[in-house]
Structure 1
Amino acid sequence: MATTAYNPFENAQIQFDQVADLLELNSGTRELLRQPMQEIHFTIPVKMDDGTTQVFKAYRIRHNDARGPGKGGIRFHPHETADTVRALSMWMTWKCAVVDIPLGGGKGGVVCDPHHLSLTEQERLCRGYIRQLFTQVGPNLDVPAPDVMTNGQHMLWMLDEYETINNGRFPSMITGKPVGMGGSLGRKEATGYGVVYVLKNLLKELNIPTQETTASIQGFGNVAEYAARMYTELGGKVIAVSCWNQSDNQAYTFKKQAGCDIEQLAQIKDDFGGIDKEKAIDLGYEVLPGEDWLKQEVDILIPAALENQITPAVFPNISEKVKIICEAANGPTTPDCDPLIRERGITLLPDFLCNAGGVTCSYFEQVQCGMNYFWEIEEVFEKLESAMTKAFYAVYELSLEKDLYMRDAAYTIAIQRVAEAVRLRGWA
């Protein structure tokens, strides 16, 4: 579903450079912030169930930790690259800064396809990842979390390996753990709910009732599912959902003009966010090509899959009816498409604001683990909505005040906060 024509790290640097010029950052700060502070590339040998050994390439990259320990997920993906991880670590820095939590940006990845690994092989891979990195991660250094095709079980295996090596209990060294094992209530829903908290506030400011809107979503993993759930609970109607199907190795768009039943779709999806095509057909869904999610006559587009999905090449396919693009994924829009979006008058909610609910709840998990006292789910959601609403209005009001594209306004706030931390530490 992603295109290989764009380099995500170059995209991240282009976005940074545009705002660094506006802010007139000094050369030292600019050079420090446009690249990672630390990169670790390594291999993980894993004994497979058939007795052979397979070697997996892996990464952990920390972009900047001036505001606090590094924070960012670990992806398992067969097409993972160093530049993808670099970009994601950079976006994590801005994401933590824009919601004003005391963390920096990091990211990890393993080049693998967990669809083709047994659970025992996945466990060995997770433990091998930590054995290679245990001196470089930890609650006061760099805190991993789940990301694409990883989950709470993977995080718990990693935590157990870290605690075994370090002979102690360190529950805040990793987040996204299962509830009851140091995980926070609400973490599963947090990123998707955070997307809709931001969207809800924008619709309020635009005087558009949520119940009068329609949306098309790319992706049906954790983020997309819970964004869709909350959006429909608020009265919105999801017309189409696009996702990748592992069984036949291609993407499909599942459409129901009367509105998708999100609970129904969740019942027929696999562990990696793929919807069973035959069951969807039986339930009355129209099955279209994967890219058709972008062509729907809706008010809101929610890209919630991978980077580089909205480009100048596909932008003409977007309906004139679309008013809002809500970036639930990381880097779904390429920089050369931003001027086209702005020219058409579409309001864009930028990724590192829109999907910051996940890292915000991960921060809550760290805090709770540190206290060894865990909040009820209502308190988690109350704090999450408060944080996301505060971040949205800071960005929205600056965009109005300075006549800035919303992405540029979000970058302005985030970069200023990180640059100030760098200055105060005497790094530049």
Structure 2
Amino acid sequence: MPTSLQNDIGDRLSQALQHVSISEDAIEQLRYPKASLTVSIPVRMDDGSLRMFQGYRVRYDDTRGPTKGGVRYHPRVTLEEVQSLAFWMTFKCAVMDLPFGGAKGGIALDPKELSKLELERLSRGYIDAIADFIGPDVDILAPDMYTNATIMGWMMDRYSTIRRQHAPAVVTGKPLTLGGSQRRDTATAMGAYLAIATIMGKFSQKPNQTTVAIQGFGNAGAVLATELAQAGYKVVAVSDSQGGIYAKQGLNIPSLRQYKEANRSMKAVYCQGSVCNVVEHEVISNEELLQLDVDILIPAALGNQITGENAHKIRAKWIFEVANGPITPHGDRILASRGVQVVPDILVNAGGVTVSYFEWLQNRSGLYWRGEEVSQRLQERMVHETECVWSLAQEKDIDCRTAAYVRGLQRLGEAIVAKGTRDYYLS
């Protein structure tokens, strides 16, 4: 396993282990992924040429159940990154008390360079390569960065063809007509909103007095911005991969989303019908957005955005991690020393895997829920687990990230101990 991954995992675990007592066997088991697979995927391109793509799938730990995790398409996907994400998924599922372990997958490519037909061949080829490594009772896939419901549908269909049986539960995040769940497309954002509202509701500061900056305006960031704005929060800055915009008076999020969908770019606008007028705003970089003087900063794009190099420039009072791993351990320590409260990704963005669990349950039972029921179940679980993490942080006088890992470690440790440890066999 790569040294940097060992260091990262060791740092997260060592902080939590100071506040929880679990078996040495459990600690040793959680330091290493259970299984890692690297595959080469041949794809016939539209011009007739053959191109090879590198793909990965990692099952980190399955003590609490079959592993669960997304598949991402991105040029910078590596085995090390996938292992790190699978580790975080293990703890995310434990924090949310889901009967899953953690997994992750990915293919190294720029999906914008491929046609839709090439993407379909690639997605089906990935399943051809990993079919023996996954399954509804072994490892369940889901959408992640630059993958979507359509791609998940292709993957489910290919797996079903290989197994000669209908197997919708092997993949979540599918189209509704192929067994997907209501509200899965907005689950990550809604879960994040519930976590933010639960924690911020404990303080006297009102939503209309609270400024927010969101780095990342994809599906999760845009929906979350909408929910926060509707709740009265003042969203003053957002950004995508090209850069961001800042308006001190606050942004009109519905108009901004309408303009971006129509023009593939972002400007602070106010729309009436199809007519959008530009309003006063500043164009800023993603780095400048991170350094804005706001109450809440929400990294909802790529990982490793706040590091030891820029953490001392962060002026937000609260950071809610919607992206996976947006803050490095070094950045974490600097933020903690400056009193910045960080609520971690393994709690904040867990709405996606929670509704994926609901989808898996529905696929297994054949009984499908209305959207209102999905939302109610998500709210109950997100609010309950956020309250538990917050209470644990207050009880032990530790930060929220450490508290979330402590809660995950307690559940993972109990499951590992239940299978037998050194203390049991030597007693």
Q: TM-score, normalised by structure 1?
A: 0.92
Q: Match for residue 249 of structure 1?
A: none
| Aligned equivalent of 1:422, options 416, 419, 425 | 416
Deviations 1:288-323 (A, max 9, x none): 12211112221100001111111121123222xx22
Q: CA separation in 2, counterparts of 1:419 and 1:22? A: 13
| Aligned equivalent of 2:232, options 227, 232, 235 | 235
Tell me by how many angstroms 1:423 deviates.
Answer: 1.5
Q: Match for residue 163 of structure 2?
A: 166
Residues 1:263 and 2:254 are matched in the alignment: yes
Equivalent residue pairs, number: 413
Deviations 1:39-81 (A, max 9, x none): 0011100000000011000100011011011000000000111
Q: CA separation in 1, counterparts of 2:7 and 2:42? A: 31
Please list, as runs of the form range in 1=range in 2, the aligned pairs for 1:215-234 lying within 5 A after superposition.
215-234=212-231
Cα gap change, 1:156 to 1:110, in 2 (>3 Å): same
Deviations 1:93-128 (A, max 9, x none): 100110111111000010011010000000000000
Please list, as runs of the form range in 1=range in 2, the aligned pairs for 1:82-231 lying within 5 A after superposition.
82-231=79-228
Q: Match for residue 325 of structure 1?
A: 319
| Aligned equivalent of 1:373, options 349, 367, 392 | 367
Q: Match for residue 36 of structure 2?
A: 39
Conserved? CA contact 1:146–1:155, under 8 Å: yes
Q: CA separation in 2, counterparts of 1:143 and 1:426? A: 26
Tell me by how many angstroms 1:378 deviates.
Answer: 1.1
| Aligned equivalent of 2:290, options 291, 294, 297 | 294
Q: CA separation in 2, counterparts of 1:402 and 1:278? A: 45
Q: CA separation in 1, counterparts of 2:82 and 2:144? A: 11
| Aligned equivalent of 2:14, options 4, 14, 17 | 17
Structure 1 residue runs of 4 or more that deviate by more than 6 Å after TM superposition: 278-282
Identity %: 40
Please list, as runs of the form range in 1=range in 2, the aligned pairs for 1:270-281 lying within 5 A after superposition.
275-277=264-266
| Aligned equivalent of 1:283, options 246, 263, 278 | 278
Tell me by how many angstroms 1:338 deviates.
Answer: 2.0
Q: Which moved more, 1:157-166 or 1:332-341?
A: 332-341
Q: Match for residue 355 of structure 2?
A: 361
Q: Match for residue 304 of structure 1?
A: 300
Conserved? CA contact 2:256–2:266, under 8 Å: no
Structure 2: where are the runs of 5+ without partners?
270-275, 423-427
Secondary structure of the residue that 1:122 maps to in structure 2? helix
Q: CA separation in 2, counterparts of 1:353 and 1:20? A: 18
Q: CA RMSD in A?
A: 2.0
Q: CA separation in 1, counterparts of 2:304 and 2:13? A: 17
Tell me by how many angstroms 1:344 deviates.
Answer: 2.2
Conserved? CA contact 1:73–1:147, under 8 Å: yes
Q: CA separation in 2, counterparts of 1:343 and 1:223? A: 29
